[in-house]
Amino acid sequence: MGAVLPGVSELRDEDQDFWYRVLYVRLEGVVYVLHCFTKKTDKTPLKNIDTARARLSALKQRLLEQKKKS
């Protein structure tokens, strides 16, 4: 398990053909999966990190809007 972005963690597993990745964040006691993908190398491509970054930003915005409504 490693950190790919501040606050975002990564679960990794591999078999003989692929690496499997799950990028997730824990906010307010809830685990949110930001992105899942397979790849052939052990390095996480920047495009996948960017996807997780965009989804994290959208998630934080949505949670902020929900708090404002409460």
CATH number at residue 59: 3.10.20
Range of the domain at 48: 2-69
pLDDT value of position 26: 95
pLDDT, one tens digit per residue, over 22-35 is 999 999 899 999 99
Per-residue confidence band for 43, with pLDDT thresholds at 50, 70 and 90: confident
* Angle, alpha carbons 10-11-17 (nearest 5°): 115
pLDDT value of position 1: 46
Q: Are strands 8-14 and 30-39 parallel, antiparallel or unpaired?
A: unpaired
For the chain, the domain total comes to 1
| pTM of the shown model | 0.84
Arithmetic mean of pLDDT over the chain: 90
Per-residue confidence band for 45, with pLDDT thresholds at 50, 70 and 90: confident
